[in-house]
Amino acid sequence: MNLRRDVFQAIADPTRRSILMLVATQAMTAGAIASNFDTARPTVSKHLQILTECELLTQEQNGREMIYHLNPNKMKEIADFIEPFRKMWDDRFNKLEDVMKKYKES
């Protein structure tokens, strides 16, 4: 059974978000990534597989090692999707702030 991974399910996991933060600063091997966590390496490998399937990470073969890179294009897609919601909430909070200021003044 081939289940399609959802990018938002992938980033919902705190470990996967931590992996993205690590790889955002520099490309890393699976071993280097795993060394930052107190979990078994196969667990980290599963997280890497999910992030790769969602195209949040890309892989590059370097000899016997796999190097993981952040995919900035996919991250931009996510940011572009979220942006209208951020703007909507900013507008709502700004309106609430205006109401609260008027309420304080009276």
- Which pLDDT tens digit goes with each residue over 88-103? 999 999 999 989 988 8
Position 53 pLDDT exceeds 80: yes
Average pLDDT over residues 35-56: 95
Which residues lie below 8 Å from residue 74, measured CB to CB, with a gap of 6+?
7, 54, 55, 56
pTM, to two decimals:
0.79
Confidence of residue 2 (pLDDT cuts 50, 70, 90): very low
Average pLDDT over residues 46-69: 95
Average pLDDT over residues 40-57: 96
